[in-house]
A and B are shown apart, each in its own frame.
Chain A
Amino acid sequence: MLKIPGNSQGTFCDGLTRRNFLQIGAFGAGLTLADAMRSNAAAPSANTRSRSLKSAIFIYLPGGPSHLDMYDLKPDAPKEIRGEFKPIATNVPGVQICEHFPKQAKMWDKLSVVRSLTSVNEHSDSLVMTGYPDRVNTLAGHPSFGAVVSKLRAAASGSVPPYVSLRGMSRGSEPGYLGVAHRPFTPSGPGNANLKLARGVTGERLDMRKSLLESFDDTRREIDASGTMDGIDSYTERALDMVTSGAVREALNLSNEDPKVRDRYKGLESFLTARRLIEAGVGFVTLSIGGWDTHGKNFDTLRKQLPKVDQAVSNLIQDLHDRGLANDVVTVMWGEFGRTPKINGNAGRDHWAPAMSALVAGGGLKMGQAVGATTANGERPKDSPYSVPQVLSTLYHAIGVDPSQTFPNGSGRPMYILDEREPVKELL
């Protein structure tokens, strides 16, 4: 997990830490049998991934990053609004971003921002991960974007988990009505530990155990018409494969990476991990950089934060391009909401849900744009207003998932992945 110095690191203005509130480190890892049977796809072996299956990376900036100081600067607004940062030109004429984002400015043809979003005032990743706010999800249990990927991609994932969270569990990473099988793999808890041989077991011993199991396990799986027995047989094979070959462990082991590359990602290792997981065939990765709830010392904090973000994002996106993955991987970066245009008495900005920006990259979407605009003081959308679910819908389209699909919830009601699903047309 990243550690970035800052006085509000990890906690929000109400003093509560919400990340990792469920420290069980679940490894749902998808892959229930019914999914496997339904999708009818033969499972490729580890490390070979059909590029027809696209992936997504969600970068979450918890706390609510200031739209006015990052991608939506208002240099002509009064001093108490425009703040301390100046805009700089990007390599796309007409698009300007913050002076602390020089690396992104040089590669704006590979990036786009949606400036005209509205959000909700909740310190929760529920809306940006599921498309539904926390207050709705407490009861409704809409699934995380990653859980949907897990549900649809389980069979094609081989021995790689389809859904990985590098930031633990949160409301927005829950699978809700898709079921606990679609919780993310979190490389910190028991799920990860299970990838290494248990203490007291050697490879040789595991082989002996396997041959005993082959002899003892004489139940004919045909007696179970539901297919669950069939599933256990195939998962036993795949699970042993995960322990012995360890494609996921390999991906998580950054020492396999060129030292020069590791240098570029210094202090931002989770971005490198995300890229390696995607290369190994993971369908969805979420990660975060904390420290955005800047009620005080907004500009001092951002002067430290923004260069990190610039470094992380430019590295990741450039790497994806260099590996020919730009169109196969869609990336988004956003927080819960924007921040108040008017700077408060503590040189801070407070929560502001009526306006928010989202950075989007790759996935075959149209890059080099700034979609929409806010009003002169950055208070609310003026042109092309969009909602968070509409951006999610665009991202689903980008990875080839139809957000108008339904899955039944606990009471049998067919639930759309997204209710609001008109995509951001400028990006298509």
Chain B
Amino acid sequence: MGYRSRPPTFAIPSDFLLPSQHIAMRIIVSFFLLASFSSISLGDTLKAFPASLSIRGVDDAPQLLITRVTQDREKDGTADASYAIADPTICRIDQTGRVFPLANGKTTITATLAGGRIEIPVTVSSLETPRPINFANQIEPILTKLSCNSGGCHGKIQGQNGFRLSLLGFDPELDYMTLLKESRGRRLMPSAPDQSLLLAKATGKVPHGGGKKLEPDSEEYKVLRRWIATGMPYGQETDPTIEKISVHPESRVIDKQGRQQLVVVAHYSDGSSEDVTRRTQFESNETEIASVDGAGLVRTLSMTGQAAIMVRFSGQVSVFRALVPRAQAQPFTFASKNLVDELTSRKWRELGLAPSAECNDETFIRRVYLDITGTLPTTDAVRSFVADRTGDKRDRLVDRLVETPEYAYYFANKWADILRVKRRNQAGRATGTFAFHNWIRDAMANDMPYDQFVREIICATGDEIKSPPTVWYKEVATPENFVDDLSQVFLGQRMACANCHHHPYEKWSQDDYWGLAAFYGRVGKKQLATPGTATNNQNRLQFVYVRSNGSVTNKRTNQTAPLKPLDADPLTVDGTEDPRALLADWMASPDNPFFARAVANRYWAHFFGRGIVDPIDDLRVTNPPSNPELLDALAKSIVDQKFSLKSFVKLICKSRTYSLSAEPNESNQADKQSFARYYPKRLSAEVVFDAVCQVTGSPSQFGGLPTDAFAPRRAIMLPDESFTSYFLDVFGRPQRISACECERVNEASLAMTLHMLNSQEVQDKIARAGGRADELAKAKRTDEEKIEDVFLSAIGKKPTAAQLSMAKAHLAKHEKDKKQAYENIVWALLNTKAFLFNQ
């Protein structure tokens, strides 16, 4: 490091516990004494974190946390406590609980609150000794906290007005050079630190496009100034590097309108640690439930629920979880049917919510048909299910539905979206996409174990016809595609950020990214021409094989990337091995922290409309599950059931939680994440399309598919994305551009509503000769029976008395043209929310 300034050496007092003389400004936090309890029996018990403080250097001002322990709860008392300092010349404490050193020496802080009392020993030292600063550990976090290096400012790839920093400070060496050498050295001036452009701009003394970011009397300013004044040291090779951060507490139950101070501690490679609370960035994922300020003070608002506070410092992340219960817990009884119910009901009790009642049979059969088979139950199916008096009929229905061909088609469609079975309107690719879709459908029908399913895709070799999963490698054409799709689909990790820079909300670095990419290194591809066709790429079959060597270059280091799964040790392969097989082994091992959880969450979201982690493929540390124990138990169940997806579907659909009504009660009205009721879901594009065909009795034909009696006539059966349908597009069918289920749009849209209300396509289906309206007009049954039939068919329930009389009046008024009258009734039903939603 030729450009590093060597700082002057300082004499460090030898009575310090710290192993390295280059560590500046550390507190020694007594983690072995997380809490020392007060011995006084009157009033509440108090706990302090840290239990004792050791302050080194003038910049060190750690956060003290005082916690009240009352019955079964712990409550932040930091701001409410009264503090007394035995020797007020040694240190002072402000009302936020922050302790500032005043003189070297020892003293004791006594905190009292609600009759409780606790003493915290304090040692202050090294105030007179200037400490060398480490750029990466001390300066870079300031630039990050002030958002100098954010993506909107100097962190963007072109920089801002000629000054570019690495995004969120992930490349300290580059930033150091930039600050020191560019702009003719005017950014940092050790001879007149306050004249440095860095400080003059940030304080607004010199016009700054980004405005005033820094107060001249702030702590950050003092540190930056001292760093410049001491000759801008980079630090020593031997300086410790950050290994992780921890946040205290990690989770807490907080009342509405309550608060909780956080303490963030950085842990270094030499075993030392320091308070970095004020240098850390905080962000709440549910700002309606809890907000957080720059000092790490969390405030809960007036909503019940859970929030996660992301904590980020120097490339490391952690999370604090807040649970805000209802003020008055709603008592309830709930008979658990399986592990799902045990863990959901535990969460409801924590939150003080009560679950909705169970739904009725009409609702249940429509719900489970739509969720498992993507198909509406017929009128007869609804009638006979309701009439069935056996106690286990719901479970038996679930067992039966997972064995239907529709189950296999519906879930094949789901997987084909994210495996990107995509023809791109090229006729020559249909062989491959049809074969791959067939293969997925067979895997679903035969309940191929999920680990095997994934292994056969990842490790695929051969041509598109004999080995259909190789078609995955059509869209996955580069090492980068491989990492992005594989991590998002199978591991629930969005790695794409780490392609170019350290992931901003995760611990993943570029080395992690390229470590995964390395497994692609030996993938070989050949294009086989089809005899007798034009020799363009469209008419070639792809053949995937394993090369005997080959590697991927890490974009950051420009070196060969070692094979390294996430959070695992590097692997090696010999000349005959396929690295992808080792990756598959790692993924499918029972203790893999990502694999089973990712699929469990994905399937849960399919049935409940929201993942336990949301978004479903973003299982990062800083986006915690709304019910961690539930997700763990589901993942374990998948592994225990040998990765049988059908068993997993049964587990979910047979739970009592799944059969709750969508009608909220007073306590769970605002609930969006604890599944205390069923959340209605808009039917997806293909399902609505098929449902319209079924209700109107007007099946559809898709161009390019066979026309015989066994041909796929339903949208859920389409093998790839290249079947033209304005209907499907406008209802949000994905184009399979990305490996994200979020590409499918299930929101309401004006174009969609307009199409259902007034398109020729839907009108023609309603009015088709021989269609439902025609059939109803001609049938001999009573109007009453026929109206009931069409209601059951479309929305799965009988008309109310008012609706029945309205419909009858309408029919009576149009005695001469009953077909038109029935058309109007069908039209009205297709446009109800009861039809468009699964509820």
List residues of chain A with CB under 8 Å of any chain B CB.
24-34, 141, 159, 161, 176-177, 179-181, 183, 189-191, 193-195, 197-201, 205-206, 208-209, 212-213, 215-219, 221-226, 228-233, 235-236, 238-240, 242-243, 404, 406, 409-414, 416, 419-420
| Closest chain B residue to A206, Cβ basis | B758
Neighbouring A residues of B726 by C-beta, 8 Å: 24-26, 189-191
Per the 8 Å Cβ criterion, residues 116-131 of B in contact with A are none
| Closest chain A residue to B158, Cβ basis | A420
Please state if B158 and A419 are interface contacts (CB–CB under 8 Å).
yes
In the assembly, what is the distance between CA of A178 and CA of B199, in Å?
A: 39
Stretch touching chain A among B246-254, B326-334, B594-602, B731-739: B731-739
In the A-B complex, the 9 residue pairs with the smallest Cβ-Cβ separation, listed nearest first, are A410-B738, A231-B748, A212-B828, A198-B763, A410-B740, A235-B753, A31-B750, A239-B754, A217-B832
The answer to whether B655 has its CB under 8 Å from any CB of chain A is no
Interface string of B745-770 (1 = CB under 8 A from A): 11111111111011111111001000
In the assembly, what is the distance between CA of A397 and CA of B834, in Å?
A: 44
Please state if B740 and A228 are interface contacts (CB–CB under 8 Å).
no
In the assembly, what is the distance between CA of A217 and CA of B833, in Å?
A: 6
Given contacts A190-B761, A212-B806, contact A33 B484 (CB under 8 A): no
Please state if A410 and B742 are interface contacts (CB–CB under 8 Å).
yes
Contact of B484 among A26, A206, A225, A411 (CB under 8 A): A411
Please state if B739 and A410 are interface contacts (CB–CB under 8 Å).
yes
Neighbouring B residues of A24 by C-beta, 8 Å: 724, 726, 729
Neighbouring A residues of B671 by C-beta, 8 Å: 225
Please state if A232 and B724 are interface contacts (CB–CB under 8 Å).
no
Please state if B760 and A193 are interface contacts (CB–CB under 8 Å).
yes
Please state if B679 and A29 are interface contacts (CB–CB under 8 Å).
no
Taking residues whose C-beta sits less than 8 angstroms from the other chain, chain B's interface range is 35 or more
Please state if B759 and A190 are interface contacts (CB–CB under 8 Å).
yes
Please state if B679 and A236 are interface contacts (CB–CB under 8 Å).
no
Contact of A232 among B760, B829, B833 (CB under 8 A): B833
Stretch touching chain A among B106-114, B375-383, B405-413, B662-670: B662-670
Given contacts A32-B748, A33-B747, A420-B158, contact A223 B755 (CB under 8 A): no
Contact of A29 among B670, B745, B751, B829 (CB under 8 A): B751
Please state if B664 and A223 are interface contacts (CB–CB under 8 Å).
yes
Per the 8 Å Cβ criterion, residues 635-694 of B in contact with A are 662-664, 669-672, 679-680, 682
| Closest chain A residue to B834, Cβ basis | A219
Please state if A209 and B753 are interface contacts (CB–CB under 8 Å).
no
Please state if A219 and B748 are interface contacts (CB–CB under 8 Å).
no
The answer to whether B743 has its CB under 8 Å from any CB of chain A is yes
Please state if B832 and A216 are interface contacts (CB–CB under 8 Å).
yes
Stretch touching chain A among B149-157, B396-404, B775-783: B149-157
The answer to whether B615 has its CB under 8 Å from any CB of chain A is yes
Please state if B747 and A223 are interface contacts (CB–CB under 8 Å).
no
Neighbouring A residues of B740 by C-beta, 8 Å: 410-412
Contact of A194 among B743, B747, B759, B802 (CB under 8 A): B759
Contact of A229 among B680, B759, B800, B824 (CB under 8 A): B680
Given contacts A198-B760, A413-B497, contact A32 B745 (CB under 8 A): yes
Please state if A199 and B802 are interface contacts (CB–CB under 8 Å).
no
Please state if A181 and B745 are interface contacts (CB–CB under 8 Å).
yes
Given contacts A180-B732, A189-B726, A201-B758, contact A215 B802 (CB under 8 A): yes
Interface string of B426-467 (1 = CB under 8 A from A): 000000000000000000000000000000000000000000
Please state if A199 and B158 are interface contacts (CB–CB under 8 Å).
no
The answer to whether B5 has its CB under 8 Å from any CB of chain A is no
The answer to whether B496 has its CB under 8 Å from any CB of chain A is yes
The answer to whether B831 has its CB under 8 Å from any CB of chain A is yes
A390 to chain B, nearest CB (A): 11
Given contacts A24-B729, A411-B496, contact A419 B757 (CB under 8 A): no
| Closest chain A residue to B762, Cβ basis | A198
Please state if B751 and A229 are interface contacts (CB–CB under 8 Å).
no
Pick from B680, B749, B763 the residue with the most CB of A within 10 Å.
Answer: B749
In the assembly, what is the distance between CA of A230 and CA of B747, in Å?
A: 10
Neighbouring B residues of A34 by C-beta, 8 Å: 747
